[in-house]
Amino acid sequence: MSLTSSLAGTFVFLRKESLLGDVLSHAVFPGVCISFLIAGEKDNFVILIGATITGIIAISLIQYLGNKPKVKQDAALAFVLSTFFALGIVILAYMQNLGISGQSGLETFLFGSAASILLEDFWFFIPAFILVLTLFGLFYKELKLVSFDRKFGIISGISSRTTDMVIGIMALLAIVTGIQAMGVVLMASLMIIPPAIGRTMSVTLKKMIIIAMLTASLGSIAGTYFSSTMTGAPTGPWIVLFLGCIAIIAFIFSPTRGLISRRISALRQETKIRSEHILKSMYKGQEDGKMPEFKGSKDSRGLNSLRTKGLVERVEGRFRLTESGREEGRRLVRLHRLWELYLTKKMGIQADHVHEDADSVEHIISGDVEELLLEVLDHPQKDPHDQEIPYGK
């Protein structure tokens, strides 16, 4: 179940339509209710049909209404969700008051109860998963393309209606598989949270899917186990809580996009810029004889980084540029002045406005861009402030 949902959910997530999963999972509820009404008991086959029919009606309604100018997408989603769900509750209450025997089984569909899943249910779960997997395999390229860049997909000749339908079917299968354990109300989270975790933890689609499926399984197993040890505890919410915890951990500790790694790389970047500025000011100090002063922890971090790189050395308690440090400083000053010249000459910007911009850009100008600049500016000698552009040997 979790595998199916996370797989289908990944694409829904990528298309930024996660709320659609929420709406759909609420919307299949009346279908489940009606099938209970007809069958009088929990009959997987009838439930499947009922849920699918309602699901298809819901999807079509959302598509239809979502395009109407007087309704638009968000209202269409909210309308379908609430009205369908209300219908389901009306039927449920009706059955409850009539004392129809099957209705307690129906209630488990609201918040999920793993305990109510029987072995024979797997006859449905497994084929459903295989079907989703098949669709996934068949349409992988198209789904990937359309999810990331819809317009390009349309231009490339991939019918967006077909892919929409495929994703819709996958989502529907996932939902129908999952509602018994998760419940209608919380089903959507199984399709939202694992993909979100996967997204945070990886950059490639394949890895994202794998991580999503792993976390979904982990969360479901943990949640199911936990809730079964407590009497009367519904499975759905516990699974969601576990998934939520995993999500928090992932968001903080994730290697590339997590909070901690972001902080670290931001710090690293800051040190780099700071040390390059230090180099520049030391070089300029050599030019005009005014030695710069450094204070504060950020500066000392920059200086230390420069020392480790061998660009600066400590002599008699003061700092001095090494040979390579001087070259690097010269390069930075050159880039700075070249960029300033470029801005004034080619972009028509006033000379007193260019300094700050150059201060930022000088750190990212690479060798080939430098070549281009020299060409475009015709190997100039002076910058807009009439300072010499140092070339060195």
The binding site for other proteins (CB under 8 A) comprises 13, 16-19, 21-22, 26, 70-75, 77-79, 81-83, 85-87, 89-94, 97-98, 107, 110-111, 185-186, 188-189, 192-193, 195-196, 199-200, 230, 232-234, 236-238, 240-241, 243-244, 247, 251, 257, 259
Q: Which is nearer to other proteins, 16 or 151 (CB)?
A: 16
Q: Which is nearer to other proteins, 171 or 365 (CB)?
A: 171
Residue owning tokens 């018994």: 180
Other beta carbons within 10 angstroms of residue 149's beta carbon come to: 12
Side chain identity, residue 167: I
Q: Which is nearer to other proteins, 95 or 311 (CB)?
A: 95
- Min. distance of Cβ 195 from other proteins in angstroms? 8
Report yes or no: 215 and 246 within 8 Å, Cβ to Cβ: yes
Q: Which is nearer to other proteins, 4 or 25 (CB)?
A: 25
- Min. distance of Cβ 172 from other proteins in angstroms? 18
- What the block records as the tokens of 222 is 């943990």
Report yes or no: 156 and 88 within 8 Å, Cβ to Cβ: no
Query: Could you tell me the sign of the dihedral formed by the alpha carbons of 128, 129, 131, 135, in that order?
Result: positive
Q: Residue 297 and residue 282: Cα distance in Å, rounded?
A: 18
Q: Residue 304 and residue 29: Cα distance in Å, rounded?
A: 64
Backbone angles phi, psi at 353, to 5 degrees: -100, -10
Q: Which is nearer to other proteins, 71 or 349 (CB)?
A: 71
Instruction: Give CA separation, 346 vs 126, 343, 352, 376, in Å.
Output: 65, 6, 15, 9
- What is residue 319's three-state secondary structure? strand
- Min. distance of Cβ 316 from other proteins in angstroms? 46
Q: Which is nearer to other proteins, 169 or 192 (CB)?
A: 192
Q: Which is nearer to other proteins, 192 or 365 (CB)?
A: 192
- Min. distance of Cβ 380 from other proteins in angstroms? 41
- Min. distance of Cβ 73 from other proteins in angstroms? 8
Find all residues with CB under 8 Å of 244, minimum gap 6, and list them: 193
- Min. distance of Cβ 186 from other proteins in angstroms? 6
Query: Could you tell me the sign of the dihedral formed by the alpha carbons of 328, 330, 333, 339, in that order?
Result: negative
- Min. distance of Cβ 76 from other proteins in angstroms? 9
Q: Which is nearer to other proteins, 195 or 325 (CB)?
A: 195
- Min. distance of Cβ 58 from other proteins in angstroms? 12
Q: Which is nearer to other proteins, 50 or 234 (CB)?
A: 234
User: Angle 340-342-343 (CA atoms, 0-180°, nearest 5)?
Assistant: 65
Find all residues with CB under 8 Å of 21, minimum gap 6, and list them: 9, 12, 171, 175, 187, 188, 191, 192
- Min. distance of Cβ 193 from other proteins in angstroms? 6
